[in-house]
Structure 1
Amino acid sequence: MDFEIKLHNQRLRGIVGNEHATDAVILAHGFSGNMHGPDGIFDLLSESLQKEDFAVIRFAFRGTEPSDGEQKDTSLHTETEDLKAVIDWAENKRGYSRIAVLGESFAGGVVANAYRDIVDAVVFWYPLFDFKDCSFREFLNDFNLDQIEKNGAITIDGFAVGRQMYEDISTTVLYDRLTDIKAPALFLHGDADTDVPVQQSEKGYDRAGGIKELGILEGADHCFRFEQDAAVELTTEFLITTLKEA
């Protein structure tokens, strides 16, 4: 099922699989990503979760097709607003009984920032909570800031980054937001991640306020390219335990 949510005269678009299920899982893609997830991992996870009778909600943040908006206008604020709107839609428009939210990479920080008490479980895949403590740091320099001032944006990983996103990357640290999370939380991270250090998940795990699990995938780099099956299995098992068997 396709869906649309109107925000500030723009439309956020997404899809729902197994829409008539009782419980739902929302999947939030990372920076420069899309509804399929890196290397199609969201497709695999969606299939696994639907087999366990979850509805699976996937969407594109504004600035990413098929949603409206321009890339250069994307920021932590706009993505937080988008995710909150999807959570509200899942609760109030669709009426799902229990809702889980998964964020990968940059969207891990978005999930922490957007968390609300109505969320029944959260999953973080190689999450970014300290935006400078990652591969973004190489783009933080006077030359790139000058290019943003002159041209309105620079390009990082094929994505147009405007002034607000640049400022977000320069200043955002979200560890304190994790203390507000009382729902069960799963942190999954590879110990060979060269983009976001595994210590970010370890610190996030320490700060999270509810029941929590930390899974370190040995030898896994960012996006779990060669560990997709393990990540999908661990995530599915966690969500069955926290939502179906609770």
Structure 2
Amino acid sequence: MKNVLKKHFFVKGREELSVMIHNYREKADGTPIVILCHGFTGDKIGPNQLILNLAKGIEAAGYIAIRFDFAGSGESYGEFSKDTTISGWQQDLDTIVSWVKSSPEFSGSPIILLRS
């Protein structure tokens, strides 16, 4: 399979979470993965495209960047007023981290969390 630089899809958690991978590879071969988390009222693009530009910089450095929308934000399913809670966000982040850890293509890759 040819390398794809970006890949968009949904991961099922408490809601369907919109996820974008930068520097997607069929096999990560231990390449560090940086999971980018947006702030309150934000989304995976970020104010002034902050999170998008961080992901592009991480990708340019040769790492894998994963950015996602918490439930009720951006392109993820859910309702902002109902789903935006600390425990809900923790669940969403756990869903993404668990998904990365269980994905064979990311086997052996260290995970770094970055919150804007």
With the shorter chain as reference, the TM-score category is 0.7 to 0.9
SS of equivalent to 1:102: strand
1:101-136 superposed Cα distances (whole Å, 9 cap, x missing partner)? 0012xxxxxxxxxxxxxxxxxxxxxxxxxxxxxxxx
Contact (CA 8 Å) 2:23, 2:65: kept in 1 or not?
yes
Provide the C-alpha distance between the structure 1 equivalents of 2:87 and 2:43, rounded to a whole number of angstroms: 18
Please state if 1:2 is matched with 2:8: yes
The higher relative CO (CA closer than 8 Å, separation ≥ 6) is in 2
SS of equivalent to 1:47: helix
TM-score calculated relative to the size of structure 2: 0.82
- Post-superposition offset of 1:43: 2.0
Q: Residue 15 of structure 1 is aligned with which of 8, 15, 20?
A: 20
Counterpart residue number, 1:145 = none
Aligned length: 103
Matches within 5 A, 1:129-140: none
In percent, how many aligned pairs have the same letter? 30
Provide the C-alpha distance between the structure 1 equivalents of 2:86 and 2:69, rounded to a whole number of angstroms: 14
Q: Which has the higher helix share?
A: 1
Provide the C-alpha distance between the structure 1 equivalents of 2:55 and 2:76, rounded to a whole number of angstroms: 20
Q: Which amino acid aligns with 1:3?
A: F
1:22-49 superposed Cα distances (whole Å, 9 cap, x missing partner)? 2210000000001112211112211111
Q: Which has the larger Rg?
A: 1
Kindly report structure 1 stretches of 4+ aligned residues shifted beyond 2 Å.
none
TM-score calculated relative to the size of structure 1: 0.40
Counterpart residue number, 2:50 = 41
Q: Which amino acid aligns with 1:95?
A: F
Q: RMSD value over aligned CA atoms? A: 1.3
Gaps of at least 5 residues in structure 2 are: 1-6
